Structure 1
Amino acid sequence: MKISVIGCGYLGAVHAAAMAELGHDVVGIDVDAAKIAQLADGRPPFFEPGLPEILTSAMATGRLRFSTDIAEVRGSRVHFVAVGTPQRDGSNAADMTYVDAAIHSLLPHLSEGDIVVGKSTVPVGSAARLADVIAASGSGAVLAWNPEFLREGFAVLDTMTPDRLVYGVAAGDETAASILDEVYATAIASGTPVVVTDYATAELVKVAANAFLATKISFINAMAEIAEVTAADVTQLADAIGFDNRIGRRFLNAGVGFGGGCLPKDIRAFTARAEELGRGESVAFLKEVDNINLRRRQRVVDLTVAALGPVVNEKKVAVLGLAFKPHSDDVRDSPALDVAVQLRGLGADVVATDPQAIENSRARHPQLSYSASVEETLRGADAVVLVTEWPEFAEIDPVWAAGLVRTSVIIDGRNKLDAAAWRAAGWTYQGLGRP
């Protein structure tokens, strides 16, 4: 099938490459000429495991190309809209500027029978409004909403083999769903469940899923706050309640909290939209979810300051991690980068390292010192803070590390290290919610 993907950022670039790898003829469109040039050269503008390989493979077949010319969408049957919906300046609400612009740019190039498919995370009610815009254009095209459920670090896998597919379509529109079945035929043949529903439900599925995950993470972090004043161990607590299959162990990892370009802004936008609908009380708990999450960052800072003693100024702090999660270079709303910046603001000499996120961090916060070497980051440190659970950080030999630092103090902001092994090597170890 001929497909266009409007917006070639994180979501769009992965989706375009994956669709071409699955056998479709795909054109990716973006207004950023530099980004398009990189993609056309087979170089993703961000780090995502597996993407360079499928990008190169798909382009070699001739089924994938990139352009800044929106007119090149002509001839495509399906047009995916995959642009960003960032948090609006001065508000918790989602900024729909890019989605609206993408839809309006498509209108002159749509034909009878075309399907515009929204993948962006939008406030509930947006799809119905955009469907009216498309209908009013007289193009004969229709709208469907097909939310994405990508995990950074696993986006290629999640696109090629999704755990579910959701189609939001207009009442009585069986054609859109059947065409999306063709697009995702490989996944459906392997048993991926499909939910066909209305626009509003499809929009809510994405934000509801993110709200639930954020709540689960903040719940265990709230338990960590209680554990810290009772000498309980939150990791054992999570193991124990995780055996209950109604609860499950996944996402019950206490630590410095969640971040990135989705969960924080999505729960805030959900809250803002609920308030617009007169149902703010229904999701008022999400404000506390957000507050708990932000408190854990401050807790890591406070523990580090306490470990450094009464004088923080010019003490060297080695920060292990900058990306909001491992296997990513994304530093948007990153707890790790936030901790580093706060410590630097208190006067500490912060040196930070990360396998992938140094350049993105430097672009946002040039006042920090960075090193690509874990050894150089640790050398002479008065305290070490682990804030992104990259495997290479979790596997550091505590005996080797003790020979590099000035003071053997480590704050484990992800509860990822073997506390007994680090203490046996002479370290003062402090986790979150752990005695």
Structure 2
Amino acid sequence: MKMTVIGCGYLGATHAACMAELGHDVLGMDSDIDKVAILNSGRAPFFERDLDDLLAKHTATGRLRFTASYGEAAEFADLHFIGVGTPPQPGTDAYDLTHLFDAVTKLAPGLTTPAVIAVKSSVPVGTAPRVAELLRDMAPAGDLIEVAWNPEFLRESFAVDDTLRPDRLVLGFNSDHSWAEALLRQAFAKIIESGTPTLVTDWATAELAKGAANSFLATKISFINAMAEVCEKSGANVAELANILGHDHRIGRHGMRPGLGFGGGCLPKDLGGFITRADELNAGEAVGILREAAIVNARRRQRVIDLARDELGPDLRGKRITVWGAAFKPGTDDIRDSPALAVAQALHDLGATVTVTDPKALDNARKLHPELDYVEDPIAAVDDADLLLNLTEWHQFSNIDPKRLATRTNSPKVIDARGTLNADQWREAGWMTRALGRP
């Protein structure tokens, strides 16, 4: 098949490369000319595991290429995926749909024959009819343009695998959708044939799917972190508690990792957007649990700051603190709403000298937080430190022998906010260790 992918950030570039991997001819379209040039060179302008390999492979064969022309995209195919960003609006948690409607408005004039527009971007429920109305009014093909909703459920650092081997495929349509469904089933034929559950529903349900999924995951993470607070007060061990709870098949172990909480460009945005839309629909009382999940998540960051002041004293001026981690999670260079950087910045604002290290995200962190210090080597980063904070669970950090570090610091103290360090090993090496939710 021929298809386009409009918007080539994390979602779009990954989707384009994976559709090429499935055997399709794909044209990615993005208005950022520099991004297009980088993608056409066979690499991504961000780090995502396995993505560069797919980009290099399929741009080399010509099966995948990128353009900045909406006109070229409109002429290329009759199936167009839209995966543009929908960030929060400034000063509010509501989704900003500017990029989505801009993409639809610019693509529409070139749609002179029947086509399917399959939107993957996260949106507030009720957006699909607005997209369909725009296309009806602006596309020469008018009513021959069908709108489908195909939400993504990607995890950064696992995005390629989640695209090629998803745990479910959701297709949302309006009442008459036989041609659109057939086209999308053809596009995803290999995925469907592999046994992936394919769930066909209406627009509104498909629109809610991504936000509801992320809101549930955020609530699950916040629940175990709330339990961590109780464990700290009672002397219990939250890691062992999470393991006990996880053996209940109704609860499960996935998403039950206590620690510093969630961040990134999806969970916080979708949680806030879901709550905001519920308020607009006069269903705000129904999502009270989600508001508390957001509060618990924010409280985890403050807890690390409080622990740092417990160890170093309330006045942090002149104290040297090393932070292991800048990315919001391991396996990515994404620093959007990074809990690690939020804590690092807060400690800097309290007067500490903060040195940050990360395997992938230092360049992005420098741009956003130039006031912090940066060192590439995590071992050298602890030199003369009064306190070490483990804030992103990179395996590179947990594999370091603590015996190599103790004599390099001013004081061998570590706060493990992710629970990935072997506490016994670190204590035997002479370190004072503290961890969230553990004795």
Paired AA for residue 9 in structure 1:
G
1:168 aligns with 2:172: yes
Question: Matched residue of 1:329: which SS?
Answer: coil
1:69-126, Cα deviation, whole Å (9 max, x unpaired): 1111113121011000101011110001000101111101113321001000000000
2:107, 2:77 → 1: CA distance? 11
Q: How far did 1:284 drift?
A: 2.1
* Equivalence for 2:388: 384
Once structures 1 and 2 are overlaid, which stretch shifts more, 240-249 or 394-403? 394-403
Query: Cα offset for 1:424?
Result: 1.4
Match of 2:82 in 1: 81
Q: Secondary structure at the match of 1:352?
A: strand
Q: SS where residue 312 of structure 1 aligns?
A: coil
Corresponding residue number in structure 1 for 2:156: 152
Residue pair 1:153, 1:328 contacting (<8 A) in 2 also: yes
1:428 and 2:429 correspond: no
Number of positions where the alignment pairs a residue of Structure 1 with one of Structure 2: 435
Match of 1:184 in 2: 188
1:95 aligns with 2:96: yes
> Larger deviation: 395-404 or 269-278?
395-404
1:238 — aligned with what?
Answer: 242
**Cross-structure match for 2:405:** 401
| Structure-1 residue corresponding to 2:137 | 136
Q: What SS does structure 2 have at the residue aligned with 1:411? A: strand
Whole-angstrom distance in 1 between the partners of 2:33 and 2:387 = 43
Deviations 1:131-172 (A, max 9, x none): 122223351211000000100000011111111100001113
Work out the CA distance in 2 between the residues paired with 1:111 and 1:159: 30
Work out the CA distance in 1 between the residues paired with 2:421 and 2:349: 27
Q: Where does 1:16-415 land on structure 2 (aligned, <5 Å)?
A: 16-73=16-73, 74-137=75-138, 138-139=140-141, 140-415=144-419
> Matches of 1:172 and 1:70 in 2, distance apart?
27
SS of equivalent residue, structure 2 residue 305: helix
Contact 1:111 1:141 (8 Å CA) reproduced: no
3-state secondary structure, aligned to 1:403: helix
Q: Which amino acid aligns with 1:49?
A: R
- Contact 1:318 1:385 (C-alpha < 8 Å) held by counterparts: yes
Contact 2:25 2:64 in 1 (8 A): yes
- The aligned amino acid for 2:121 is S
| Structure 2 residue runs without a partner (length 5+) | none
CA RMSD between the two structures: 1.0
The whole-number CA distance in structure 2 between the counterparts of 1:135 and 1:245 is 47
AA aligned to 1:31 is S
Q: Which amino acid aligns with 1:336?
A: A
Equivalent position amino acid for 1:208 in 2: A
Secondary structure of the 1:429 match is: strand
Question: Take 2:346 and 2:250, find their aligned partners in 1: how far apart are those partners?
Answer: 38
Q: Deviations over 1:215-257 (max 9, x none)?
A: 0000000001111111111111101111000001111111110
Q: Gaps (5+ residues) in structure 1?
A: none
**Per-residue displacement from partner, 1:38-58 (whole Å, max 9, x unpaired)?**
111112100001001000001
Distance 2:110 2:81 in 1: 14
The separation in 2 between residues aligned to 1:392 and 1:403, in whole angstroms, is 20
8 A contact 1:83–1:120 mirrored in 2: yes
TM-score normalised to structure 1 length: 0.98
Q: Distance in 1 between matches of 2:61 and 2:282?
A: 51
Give the stretch that moved more between structures: 294-303 or 128-137: 128-137
Q: Taking every aligned residue pair, what percent have the same amino acid on both sides?
A: 51
Secondary structure, aligned partner of 1:116? strand
Alpha-carbon distance in 2 for matches of 1:277, 1:308: 48
Query: Is the CA contact (8 Å cut-off) linking 2:149 and 2:173 kept in structure 1?
Result: yes
Measured in 1, the distance between the counterparts of 2:291 and 2:179 equals 40
CA drift of 1:260 comes to: 0.2
- Structure 1 distance, partners of 2:277, 2:244, is 36
**Shift of residue 310, structure 1, vs aligned partner:** 4.4
- TM-score under structure 2 normalisation? 0.98
